[in-house]
Each structure stands twice: as C-alpha cells, then as structure tokens.
Structure 1
C-alpha cells in the first residue's frame, strides 16, 4: 500500500517539475531552469549545488550555470544557513511573484535592447534627412520610418510602465489573487 502511494507521489512530483519546465518556455527560459525551480520549490527548503546536481543528474558545473541564470532572473536567491559550509539556494514559493520576476526580467531586457536600437536608427534617419538632393519620395520614406521609430519608442515606454505595474504589485488591485493565495 505505502509503495503504491509513494509511487503516486513521485509520479505527481515529476509531473509538477515537468509542467514547471514547460511553463518556463513561455518566458523564454530553458526547461532546465524550470526543472531546478520545480525541484527546489517542491523541496520547500534551500538546496546546495551538490543536492541539485544529484537531483537532476547534471554536473556541478552545469548546475552552477543554471543557478546563476536563476539568480539573474530573480527567481532564486542564495540563502545563508548558520553552520552550513556550502551555499544553498532557494526559490520564491509564491507563484505570482515568480511570474512577475520572470515577466519583468525578460521584458526589461527586450525593452532596453530595443530602445537602444531604435534611438540609433532614429539618429541615422535624421542624419539621412540632412543630406542634400533627396527626392521627395526618399524624404517621405525617411519621415515615415521616423514616425515608426517614434511609435516603437512610445511602445517601449509603455512596456516600461507595464513592467512597473507588475513589479509594484499594482496589478493585484485590478486582478486580485484568489483568496487562498493571499498572504
């Protein structure tokens, strides 16, 4: 009887870890990060790189890279444990906060990169407009592209506001968490 229940628990935990890994793809994050996130989440306690390596079958070097990526995404944190000789890592237990961290990290990178590109393109277009002897058609096309870069920059500023809306948790005033998930 116990063995059957233990097998069901193991199967369910494996399913949870795989669903977490698949969900990470929606954020542009590797399944490996998702698996590690799921493993730490289910453990409910911080784990060392050795423990994570053992749980995943990955090398400690690869696990270090995965944990570093998780730290960069703000979905894991290094935890100090008195008396522990090795670093331990934990993850946010609040799924909503994990979503916000992943959403913000991914979109912030995209927005930042695109703002830089759009500003560079805008400068180049303005320089092109200053050239002498442009035909009306070329001038019209350059102006059209300038208008588009302005629209893109406005969009990126809007995305910054959306990211702030999530990070400030203002979102929960408009789309509340279910009662069972509130602190």
Structure 2
C-alpha cells in the first residue's frame, strides 16, 4: 500500500519541495499513511468498513475534492470498488459530489470538521437501526394484537401475550427516545452541552 501512496503523494511532494531526499520523502509519506490508518481505525469503531475510513483520510489529508481515478490510484482499489465506497460515504452524509468549473470527471469531497463527521456517522447508523427495528416492532405488535383479538387463549397464554405486548410498547418508546437523540445530535445542540475545544 505504501507504493500507492508514494506514487500519488510523492509526485505532489516532489513538485512542491525541491531537493528533498527520497528517504525523507518516504518518511513523510509513511506518516501520512499512519494518519490515514488512524482515521480508518476510528471509523471501524462505529461499524464502518475501514475502506471508508481510508478514503475519508485521503481526502482529508489532501484538503481538496478528488476524482475516482485519483482515489483509486491512492488506495490501489479498482475504480468500480471506489465508486461503491464513495456512494456509501455519500449515503452516510460524510462525503458529497461537488463540481468545479472545467473538470469533467466527478469530484468527491468531505467536510474537514471531525465533529461533523462523527455526528454524520453516529446518526446515520442509528437512523438505519431505528428504521429497521421500528418496522419489525410494528409488524410484530400488529400480529400479536390480531392473535389476541381473534383467538380464544388460555388465561396463562393471554397473560404472557399481554406481557409481550407491553415489552413491545417499551421497545417502541425506546426507539422514540433514540430518534429524539439523533435529532439532538443533528441539530448541533450536543455542542452546547459538550462544547468543541476552541482553537488557541
């Protein structure tokens, strides 16, 4: 993988820093690679594939929008696979397609604020969980309610069914709370209670 970073970052570094020794350049490239891997590790903690973290880190470290060709070259991934990764990032709201005058190829960029990226990843995952489980909970509750209304059940079984329906009600309240938590994060109010550290 270092070869791909040398190939991509190395050319840019050589153009901007004349006389830099190859050994020193290798160290700079390796430092960039370690930085990108740290971001990938951080992203992995949220259940996101490390490939997403690597692409995120590469765009971060370049501080500019990049094409699929550039990202493929930097990571060694195929353009098809890279297209899948950036589409996943766009779906999670941590990347966006941007346009630059005179550039025909699609460009992708990420926000340079780690806090916003965290909120986007955190809320994106939670919204998927909430949607999936709310659908299950409503379907299951409806089936149990129909069973209770249409069947003559022994007292003990009816008691268990009522208990189960109550548990589903508690689960629905929990997912409602999760939805409000997501809204709280997305509104930015979280930073009123846990402020970002000010730059000195």
Same fold per superposition (TM over 0.5): yes
Instruction: Note the alpha carbon deviations across 1:146-176, whole angstroms, 9 max, x for none.
Output: 0110011000000000000000000000000
Out of 65, 84, 97, the residue aligned to residue 103 of structure 2 is 84
Q: What is the Cα deviation at residue 4 of structure 1? A: 4.6
Q: Is 1:97 equivalent to 2:116 in the alignment?
A: yes
Q: 1:16 matched to which residue of 2? A: 35
What SS class does the counterpart of residue 180 from structure 1 fall into? coil
| Counterpart Cα distance in 2 of 1:132 and 1:55 | 63
Structure 1: gaps (5+ residues): none
| Counterpart Cα distance in 1 of 2:34 and 2:151 | 65
Structure 2: gaps (5+ residues): 1-19
Out of 24, 42, 57, the residue aligned to residue 61 of structure 2 is 42
**Corresponding pairs, count:** 181
What SS class does the counterpart of residue 199 from structure 2 fall into? helix
Q: Is 1:73 equivalent to 2:92 in the alignment?
A: yes
**Matches of residues 55-70 of structure 1 in structure 2 within 5 Å?**
55-70=74-89
Q: 1:147 matched to which residue of 2? A: 166
| Counterpart Cα distance in 2 of 1:136 and 1:21 | 55
Q: What is the Cα deviation at residue 63 of structure 1? A: 0.6
| Counterpart Cα distance in 2 of 1:94 and 1:87 | 22
Q: What is the Cα deviation at residue 5 of structure 1? A: 3.9
Q: Is 1:116 equivalent to 2:135 in the alignment?
A: yes
Structure 1 range deviating more: 5-14 or 51-60: 5-14
| Counterpart Cα distance in 1 of 2:153 and 2:106 | 63
With the length of structure 1 as denominator, give the TM-score of the two structures. 0.94
With the length of structure 2 as denominator, give the TM-score of the two structures. 0.87
Q: Is 1:176 equivalent to 2:199 in the alignment?
A: no
What SS class does the counterpart of residue 145 from structure 1 fall into? helix
What SS class does the counterpart of residue 130 from structure 1 fall into? helix
Output the aligned Cα RMSD. Answer: 1.4
Out of 110, 133, 155, the residue aligned to residue 136 of structure 1 is 155
Q: What is the Cα deviation at residue 20 of structure 1? A: 1.2
